[in-house]
Homo-oligomer: A and B are copies of this chain.
Amino acid sequence: MAGRNFLFVPGPTNVPDRVLRAMVVPMEDHRSPIFPELTRTLLTGLKPVFKTTTGTPILFPSSGTGCWEAALTNCLNPGDKVLASRFGQFSHLWVDMCQRLGFEVEILETPWGEGAPVERYLASLAADKQHRIKAVLVCQNETATGVTSDVAAVRKAMDSVKHPALLFVDTVSALVSIDFRMDEWGVDVCVSGSQKGLMLPTGMAFTGISAKAIAATAEAKTPRVYWDWRRLMGEASQAYWNGTAPVHFFYGLQEALRMLEEEGLDNVFARHHRLAEATRRAVRVWRQNDGPEIFAVDPGAQSDSITAVLVPEGYDADKIRQAALDKFNVSLGGGLDRLKGRVFRIGHLGDLNEPMVLGAIAAVEMALDLTGVPHGRGAVQAAMEYLAGEV
């Protein structure tokens, strides 16, 4: 198809030309004297990304899923109890993994479209007088529903009852798009991937671990090798990398970190908020005209990286996506599991700007048109007027 594909799935995101170019490298001896220095630079460079000075960043050649498994197996023992909420496909998958790995999961079942139920976290933690809960899991941004949860509030709940559990945060689709503060929020393990806000191809995953989490590894008895953090910390980190290091990713990450430093992390968040808000204003106009609406129910929890859009009863979200792809070369995310056919998802995260987002919204509206979904007029106008007032 002519022109660039508009990649508006919620990851992978657009790899900037600078990053793509930085990865066009010949392979090199990953045991050479220069490689440890490169590694140190990257690990140091990830600290401000996690907003941590005391935490330890670790890189894995894997997807983010692997980092989840690492978090659980490095800190916990089989049979340990964890507290988690489930309100979408990705929070579900994490719970499911916990169960498969043999942990006891207290699940706070929450309607899809809502975020982490802080009050219920508090209630469970308060009730856990014996401190059987070893880890509290929160999905900061549910990629399936476009809902952002309040991690700081969960930490506050833990602190208010002086609960000693570890706090694990899935920040895969939030990191570098939505503010995340490892130290301030007392996060013990955060988990992310390369293909979202970090603007890299898929294939690497990033985790940040606190001193408390590191201490927990000493007691963890789940058999593990690849995911064993201890192999990737300290001096050994420059020698093994779980086998050979994916050097092209290292150079890509180096360039991505440079770009983030140039733009400034707070500006990156502001840009994501602006583009997300523009998207939401457009959807609200459709909604006012009996068209699609934002799936996330609480306006304050609507995600700045993903907007899940619920189509009116009687229409098929996948047909809209197909039209957008076939006619306008715009890729949208589909509804997952119970949302299949009912929502489409606009991923407005990563290396994006205003005309990209407006072009995508326009294409979505044209796809609504082509599939007979009501939408009215003025959605893009509303988005434009908002944006012109914000830049």
Among A117-173, those with CB < 8 Å from B are none
Q: Taking the complex as formed, is A258 at the interface, i.e. its CB lies under 8 A from any CB of chain B?
A: no
**Alpha-carbon separation in the docked complex, A359 to B353 (Å):** 10
Q: Is the CB of A62 within 8 A of B65?
A: no
Given contacts A25-B21, A63-B242, A66-B62, contact A353 B384 (CB under 8 A): no
Q: Is the CB of B359 within 8 A of A388?
A: no
Q: Is the CB of A14 within 8 A of B26?
A: yes
Among A8-56, those with CB < 8 Å from B are 9, 11-15, 17, 20-32
Q: Taking the complex as formed, is A243 at the interface, i.e. its CB lies under 8 A from any CB of chain B?
A: yes
Q: Taking the complex as formed, is A203 at the interface, i.e. its CB lies under 8 A from any CB of chain B?
A: yes
**Alpha-carbon separation in the docked complex, A329 to B25 (Å):** 16
**Alpha-carbon separation in the docked complex, A97 to B29 (Å):** 24
Binary contact track A57-93/B, C-beta < 8 Å → 1, others 0 = 0001111111011000100001000000000000000
**Alpha-carbon separation in the docked complex, A15 to B86 (Å):** 43
Give which listed residue, B4, B62, B102, B354, contacts A61 with CB less than 8 A: B62
Distance to closest chain B CB from A255 (angstroms)? 11
**Alpha-carbon separation in the docked complex, A327 to B388 (Å):** 9
Residues on B with C-beta less than 8 A from A381 are 377-378, 380-381
Q: Is the CB of B2 within 8 A of A351?
A: yes
Q: Is the CB of B329 within 8 A of A355?
A: yes
**Alpha-carbon separation in the docked complex, A83 to B330 (Å):** 48
Residues on B with C-beta less than 8 A from A249 are 203
Q: Is the CB of B27 within 8 A of A244?
A: no
Q: Is the CB of A366 within 8 A of B388?
A: yes
Among A221-270, those with CB < 8 Å from B are 222-228, 241-249, 263, 268
**Oligomeric state, in number of copies?**
4
Q: Taking the complex as formed, is A358 at the interface, i.e. its CB lies under 8 A from any CB of chain B?
A: yes
Q: Is the CB of B246 within 8 A of A203?
A: yes
**Alpha-carbon separation in the docked complex, A12 to B247 (Å):** 9
Q: Is the CB of B28 within 8 A of A331?
A: yes
**Alpha-carbon separation in the docked complex, A277 to B22 (Å):** 36
Q: Taking the complex as formed, is A198 at the interface, i.e. its CB lies under 8 A from any CB of chain B?
A: no
Given contacts A24-B24, A26-B17, A27-B202, contact A225 B69 (CB under 8 A): yes
Distance to closest chain B CB from A318 (angstroms)? 11
Residues on B with C-beta less than 8 A from A330 are 355
Chain A positions near chain B (C-beta within 8 angstroms): 1-7, 9, 11-15, 17, 20-32, 60-66, 68-69, 73, 78, 97, 100-102, 193, 195, 201-204, 222-228, 241-249, 263, 268, 271, 325, 327-331, 333-334, 351-360, 362-363, 365-366, 369-370, 377-378, 380-381, 384-385, 387-388, 391
* 22 A-B interface contacts by CB (under 8 A): A1-B353, A2-B353, A3-B352, A4-B4, A5-B28, A6-B355, A11-B244, A17-B24, A21-B22, A31-B333, A61-B61, A61-B66, A201-B246, A201-B248, A202-B244, A203-B246, A226-B227, A327-B391, A328-B355, A354-B363, A358-B380, A380-B381
Ranked 4 nearest A-B pairs via Cβ? A3-B353, A359-B359, A63-B243, A355-B359
